Amino acid sequence: MDYLLATKNSKKRDELQRILSPLGIRVILDNEAGLVLGDVEETGVTFEENALIKAQSACLQSGLPCIADDSGLCVDALNGAPGVYSARYAGEHGNDEENNKKLLSELKTLFYEDRTARFVCAACCVYPDGKVLTARGECEGHIGFSPAGNGGFGYDPVFIPETYDKPEERLTMAQLDGGIKDALSHRGKALRALAQKIGGKK
């Protein structure tokens, strides 16, 4: 059975395909379904609400079960910011360098132990019959003092996951091997949890 993933990101599709293939599910993008999904205004105040908005819109357009996710960084010292505004924290959507600069500037007076944060991902699957499944994944860590690493994207160069948070080896997400990152990541956790729920529905 085909499930539509509401994204243009083929890497997300590949990750989800690996997770769902044991269930006999083929994950496709909009062009493979003969569609062009338009941009959806993400008006939710939570990651779950935005994931639902995207999945519902894609389901209505395609008539297929649709999966979408929404994710971001939540910093305790900033009362959870940038949160759902992570991609446009510095003003321009998707400007990773400026977003990281702003974040580091906001935290510049804080000691390391006060720079706790977590990556959060909400994943949602909407079915044509109205059934909705949701799951959430989180990755705890700290914000470093300067960017490090060339892998990943977004806030990966400044986020140090707790698994690699050792004084002699503080590695950011951007410094980790892709396979290790997938195992730790908030998105991987959310998608694996969603897959379990999908499997229970089948």
Catalytically annotated residues: 70
- CA-CA-CA-CA torsion for 72, 75, 78, 81, nearest 10 degrees? 10
Peptide bond into 82 cis (omega under 30): yes
Phi, psi of 130 (to 5 degrees): 95, -5
CB distance 171 to 150 below 8 Å:
no
What's the gap between Cα 13 and its chain centre?
Answer: 13
Closest by Cα among 65, 19, 50, 55 to 196:
19
